Structure 1
Amino acid sequence: MTQASATGLPSRRRHDREIIALALPAFGALVAEPLFILADSAIVGHLGTAQLAGLGVASALLTTAVSIFVFLAYATTAAVARRVGAGELGAAIRQGMDGIWLAILLGCAVIVAVLPTAPALIDLFGASDTAAPYAVTYLRISSLGIPPMLIVLAATGVLRGLQDTKTPLRVAVAGFVANAVLNVLLVYGLDLGIAGSAWGTVIAQCGMAAVYLVVVVRGARRHGASLRPDAAGIRASAQAGVPLLVRTLSLRAILMIATAVAARLGDADVAAHQIVLSLWSLLAFALDAIAIAGQAIIGRYLGAGDTDGARAACRRMVEWGIAVGIALGLLVVLARPLLLPMFTGDTAVWHAALPALLVVAVSQPLSGVVFVLDGVLMGAGDGPYLAWAMILTLAVFTPVALLVPSVGGGLTALWGAMTLMMTVRMATLWWRARSGHWLVTGAVR
């Protein structure tokens, strides 16, 4: 064995331990979060079709709002991890508090915007006359839970930056259990209907935010960090989040365009697209867990001024992304005949979805590289580049996707366009990773 391989093996093992220690709890927390909506749907579904339809419309709005503000977690993770790497724990928590104060301000602004406009928003999403009243009720009550939801995002970023993904997992699991119990008690026990479901979710979210705040406040007191709002710090957090907001909005636009194109292909194709997109999103949780580990690890290395460690960690995480992507792709290929009957008995939908799922399976290793490098550059605080790269990806994807109905190929061609989108993302991210321009060291980028 050469000296290089002898020193490389312990290094890979160290990176493996770090990645597993951070990624596994992160995966559990990611999976627990969508279970909130699933539990609500299962409980409200027994009230009637109109109530379930109303929940579906309101939940789509709430999910969109939360996904837009996910930069609160991403930007905070990178900033806090850099401070940790530099050995400045007090400053790390102080920077995390700036993100939490920003979350509170944004959450309150959303409440002010949603409460009076809820009926118009529900109407914009095309809710039926029977479902609309239930949707408005759920949206108005649930909007009160947006500030704690955003606090949870920002505080999760703080703990990830502190290299702690176990606490978010515990809080997510406890929140899911509390939400399910409260929903049953309020919907059926107190006969509050869909309003009870909304209140149950709000109470659970407030409880989760309270736990996070207790953890962060204790850390702040232990390290002498101020808890008071700092205008300059909040402004800096907002500025760091803007590029990631642009990135997220561009990605959401890609997904919306794909769904709109699928709708033009016919009912069977759009139904199949919804199934394929749901499975694609589920697979993304596993890959996103590695990306979250990347944000925390890369930020810490760069904060400590260790560019060699950052490069080595990046290479190892890319290898993990490819390996997990191959495993997920094989799983999809083997499980395709079993997955579709779980969603529908319509054979026309099966015929549309089966080849599209094969495209998804083949592209999973590619997706693994994309998710990992996305996380690495987020951890490096390279938000402006990520924003421009996603805008370029949107510009390439849009005309190709819009041509699918006229060119032909159906849903398979559309998911071919989605694979092209991921290929463009990989090319832009790979070029940036190889360039080394993201290797900016220090406590602050």
Structure 2
Amino acid sequence: MSPPARTATAHRIAALALPALVVLAAEPLYVLVDTAVVGHLGPVELAAVAVGGTVMSMAAWFGTLMAYGTTGRAARRFGAGDRPAAVAEGVQASWLALGVGLLLAAAAMVGAEPLTRVLAGNPETAEAAAGWLRIAALGAPGLLLAAAGNGWMRGVQDTRRPLYIVLGANVLSAVLCPILVYPLGLGLTGSAIANVTAQTAGGVLFLLALIRETRALRPVPSIIVRQVVLGRDLLIRGAAFQACFLSATAVASRFGVAAVGAHQIALQLWFFAALALDAVAIAAQSLVGAALGAGDGDEARDVARRVTLAGGVAAVAFAILAAVGASAVPTWFTSDSAVQEQAAVIWPWFVGLLPFAGVVYALDGVFIGAGDVAFLRTITVFSALFGFLPAVWVAYAFDLGLGGVWAGLGLFTLVRFVTLVWRWRSPRWVVVGATR
């Protein structure tokens, strides 16, 4: 079998990153469509989808972790010239996805009422959200199967099929949602059915693609356990991120309505930039894993250098756009002058941190592709516990306002930047071979 293409030319990085970017953007864009459709039903229905969607976002989070973990493992085997072994990682990831998806669906259906009562502001919203969630939770297995499919296909450097499958499923849902909600009169239930239909269709299509690749579909517990360990480290790392962003919002809210509104605008723009930069990280996962799987440490280092440069350049471009739009962009989201004034406090931090974030996201992808996930877990938790969290609560204690909150986010980013660059320059992450 001929070795896979690994060289990280600009064309190769773009060929992997651009389809991945569309896949990453498809779900948030559909959520906007769904929100717009349901929003016309009334405030209770809109609030119910917000509450139920918050619960379902946990399944999406598990899916992201599963996809990232599978990509690195599959890429190593693909780089070693063993495509069947790379696909076998997808088989075991799909068994894991199915099991976790069924557990999440059962848990959401059983716990729908207590969960929504905790999250909702009133009983009417909680009841509507529970009804939506009981149906929407049935899509969890399909959602996680799609994540596993994305993972192994990225590992074999196939980003086109996931593009077609994910776009097709989301277009189906975007078409079904308004039809089920309005002409057929199903209301909020129609939105949930559209979600389940799209997620199940996507999961089935990824499963069919897997079956066409291999007939070796039996579960192998030893491989699944190794994937669970990798997923555990990614889960802990993700929990550290969640603790930081939730704390930032909590502290910002203590500085007043205008402050939390401005913080929300900047944070959502930060997440949007992160989504785009994650496409470069996905290319890094695939290319670095393939190079190490082929036993070529020098190639892996060159891939890391090129991909990190690409991430940094993309982030600088975002920063320039944000700087140029400093006075205009906040007005797209609010006409309130107080919120705009608070946004002006955040903006220098937002613009200044983006280039560092671009390098950080790219190196995250490099180390996930290299299987160096334990280091990422440790340094993210360290940056949160000894960088961000103390800084943000000091900002609250001394009434430093949003500048103090974003200084904390800046410290979190810069600590990760320094430690990841240090790791990148060391040889410890360059472990060659089909497995790590």
TM-score interval, normalised by the smaller of the two chains: over 0.9
Contact 1:377 1:383 in 2 (8 A): yes
2:399 partner amino acid? G
Contact 2:67 2:150 in 1 (8 A): yes
Contact 2:237 2:381 in 1 (8 A): yes
Evaluate the alpha carbon distance shift between residue 370 and residue 14 of structure 1 in structure 2; reply closer, same or farther with a 3 A threshold.
Answer: closer
Shift of 1:14: 5.0
Instruction: Work out the CA distance in 1 between the residues paired with 2:293 and 2:284.
Output: 14
Instruction: Work out the CA distance in 1 between the residues paired with 2:319 and 2:87.
Output: 39
Moved more, 115-124 or 11-20: 11-20
1:214 aligns with 2:208: yes
Partner of 1:348: 338
Instruction: Work out the CA distance in 2 between the residues paired with 1:437 and 1:377.
Output: 11
1:437 aligns with 2:428: yes
Instruction: Work out the CA distance in 2 between the residues paired with 1:14 and 1:100.
Output: 29
Contact 1:57 1:127 in 2 (8 A): no
Shift of 1:126: 3.5
Shift of 1:249: 1.1
Contact 2:63 2:148 in 1 (8 A): no
Contact 1:27 1:286 in 2 (8 A): yes
Match of 2:234 among 236, 244, 259: 244
Partner of 2:247: 257
Partner of 2:224: 234
Superposed CA deviations along residues 213-262 of structure 1, whole A, max 9, x for unmatched, are 111211124xxxx1112222222211221111111111111111111111
| Residue correspondence of structure 1 range 417-436 to structure 2 within 5 A | 417-436=408-427
Q: Secondary structure at the match of 1:145?
A: helix
Q: CA RMSD in A?
A: 1.5
Match of 2:197 among 199, 203, 212: 203
Match of 2:395 among 394, 397, 404: 404
Instruction: Work out the CA distance in 2 between the residues paired with 1:136 and 1:234.
Output: 33
1:197 partner amino acid? S
Q: Secondary structure at the match of 1:189?
A: coil
Shift of 1:357: 2.4
Evaluate the alpha carbon distance shift between residue 346 and residue 151 of structure 1 in structure 2; reply closer, same or farther with a 3 A threshold.
Answer: same
Instruction: Work out the CA distance in 2 between the residues paired with 1:63 and 1:412.
Output: 29
Superposed CA deviations along residues 259-290 of structure 1, whole A, max 9, x for unmatched, are 11111111111111111111110011121110
Q: Secondary structure at the match of 1:265?
A: coil
| Residue correspondence of structure 1 range 31-180 to structure 2 within 5 A | 31-180=25-174
1:327 aligns with 2:313: no
Instruction: Work out the CA distance in 2 between the residues paired with 1:292 and 1:250.
Output: 21
Contact 1:352 1:412 in 2 (8 A): no
Shift of 1:412: 2.2
Moved more, 168-177 or 155-164: 168-177
The TM-score normalised by the length of structure 2 is 0.96
What percent identity do the matched residue pairs reach?
A: 39
Q: Which residues of structure 1 form unaligned runs of 5+?
A: 1-10
Question: Runs of at least 4 residues of structure 1 off by over 6 A?
Answer: none
Instruction: Work out the CA distance in 1 between the residues paired with 2:403 and 2:289.
Output: 39
| Residue correspondence of structure 1 range 289-328 to structure 2 within 5 A | 289-328=279-318
Instruction: Work out the CA distance in 2 between the residues paired with 1:337 and 1:58.
Output: 35
Instruction: Work out the CA distance in 1 between the residues paired with 2:53 and 2:346.
Output: 27
Moved more, 364-373 or 212-221: 212-221
Contact 1:432 1:438 in 2 (8 A): yes
1:88 partner amino acid? D
Instruction: Work out the CA distance in 1 between the residues paired with 2:6 and 2:200.
Output: 40
Q: Which residues of structure 2 form unaligned runs of 5+?
A: none
Contact 2:116 2:130 in 1 (8 A): yes
Shift of 1:13: 8.3
